[in-house]
Amino acid sequence: MALRDGRDRRCKAGKGTEKMKKAKIDGSPVPESAVEFELERLLKFYRENGMKAVELKRNLPALREKALEQAIGAQLIRRRADSLDIPVSGAEIDASLAKVATQAGGGDRLAKMLAEKGASEAELRESLKNGIKMNKVVEQACSEVPEPTEKDISDFYAAHKSEYAAEPRVFCRHILAKAESKEEKAAALEKIKAVRARLLDGADFAAEAKRHSDCPSGRDGGSLGWFSPGMMVPEFDKAAFEMAKGEISEPIETQFGWHVIYKQDEKPGGARELAEVHDEIKELLRHKARGRALDAFVAELRKTANVEYYDD
């Protein structure tokens, strides 16, 4: 369950999964997991490069189509990598494994995750080896792509300045009394009223959240971190941005139940100068240029493969 509008898996506001076309390469289906992986990468990239939540939602069908194409490309690159005698050293695999272990929270945690999936470290090392080979093929395909110049960056900023305006943001905590049926709503409301009364009498919000919130964020004292308009479900979003800093809300009802919100901090929106977004733009231009080179490379690979599309 989640408050974030389709972007935070801690309390996801169930948007549903739209049907999308699938593909086969020489008769072998492109795995759905590969498409989902590419979609997550796209969403992460565009979020980090300024695309607003409402734009992501509006463009989701197109992003899904792009994810499928990228998954096809990845499969073709994998086939090319498998066909070449590309050397991968043990040190390279060790470095990649160390990075995976760090991301997993340590070697012990990684070993536990592998055991839960019924996989071995040897299998993981082989997978990492294949990934390194693919990365080397990609780097070769993009080896002649030039880095963005300062003029490229400043010109792009001038043409897209309005897109780099910062949205207003708020930092909120909340306490949820879950209500999944009509019968539970009255009891949930009474629970939130009682919590709110204690808060108004000076009770610590984080402590109340840890004791009484039905949202996983309760473990963090009810913290939802910083968020911008459109990231939360509508009723919650409206209340959070209309409240004054330091205010404790009236009980707010959403599809998850009843909430009380504490608005801890806020930041106004406004234009950002080139210096603030320089690195973002540089990475975006670099990504686009490498993408064009990779698209051309994949187009060549597709000439020797039979790619078929089909619906569910």
What integer pLDDT is reported at residue 19 of this predicted model?
62
pLDDT for 4 equals 58
pLDDT tens digit sequence for 156-192? 999 999 888 888 999 999 999 998 888 889 999 999 9
Is the pLDDT confidence value at 246 over 50? yes
* pLDDT at res. 198: 97
Q: Does pLDDT of 38 surpass 70?
A: yes
Residue 90 sits in the same domain as residue 22: yes
Whether residues 21 and 78 fall in one domain: yes
**pLDDT at position 227 over 90:** yes
Same domain assignment for residues 234 and 298: no
Residues 106 and 37 in one domain: yes
Which of the four pLDDT bands, split at 50, 70 and 90, describes residue 5? Answer: low
| Residue 60 belongs to domain spanning | 16-156+275-310
User: Has residue 7 been placed in a domain?
Assistant: no
pLDDT tens digits, 90-104: 999 999 999 999 999
Q: Are residues 237 and 284 in the same domain?
A: no
Q: How confident is the model at residue 12 (pLDDT cuts 50, 70, 90)?
A: very low
Instruction: Answer yes or no: do 141 and 255 share one domain.
Output: no
Q: What is the structure's pLDDT at 290?
A: 95
Residues 248 and 287 placed together within one structural domain of the fold: no
Q: Residue 127: CB partners within 8 Å, gap ≥ 6?
A: none
CATH number at residue 261: 3.10.50.40
Q: Both 206 and 68 in a single domain?
A: no
| Pair 127, 21 in one domain | yes
Q: Following DSSP, what letter does each residue of the chain receive, concatenated?
A: --SBSSS-GGG----------EEEETTEEPPHHHHHHHHHHHHHHHHHTT--HHHHHHHHHHHHHHHHHHHHHHHHHHHHHHHS-----HHHHHHHHHHHHHHHTSHHHHHHHHHHTT--HHHHHHHHHHHHHHHHHHHHHTTTPPPPPHHHHHHHHHHSGGGGPBPPEEEEEEEEEE--SHHHHHHHHHHHHHHHHHHHTT--HHHHHHHH--SGGGGGTTEEEEE-TTSB-HHHHHHHHHSPTT-BPPPEEETTEEEEEEEEEEE--B---HHHHHHHHHHHHHHHHHHHHHHHHHHHHHTTS-EEEE--
In a shared domain, residues 173 and 253: yes
pLDDT at 15 over 50: no
Asked if 277 contacts 160 with a C-beta cutoff of 8 angstroms, the reply is: no
Average pLDDT over residues 67-93: 95
- Here the tokens at position 174 are 């909340």
Please give the Cα distance from 156 to 175 (Å, whole number).
43
Instruction: Check whether 116 has a pLDDT greater than 60.
Output: yes
In the chain, the percentage of residues whose pLDDT exceeds 70 is: 93
The yes-or-no verdict on residue 48 having pLDDT over 80 is: no
> Does residue 1 lie within any of the structural domains?
no
**Whether residue 3 has pLDDT greater than 70:** no
pLDDT of amino acid 51 = 75
Q: For position 9, what pLDDT does the model report? A: 35
The domain tally of the chain equals 2
Taking only Cα atoms into account, the Rg of the chain, rounded to an integer number of angstroms, comes to 24
Q: Report pTM.
A: 0.59
What pLDDT, on a 0 to 100 scale, did the predictor assign at position 7? 39
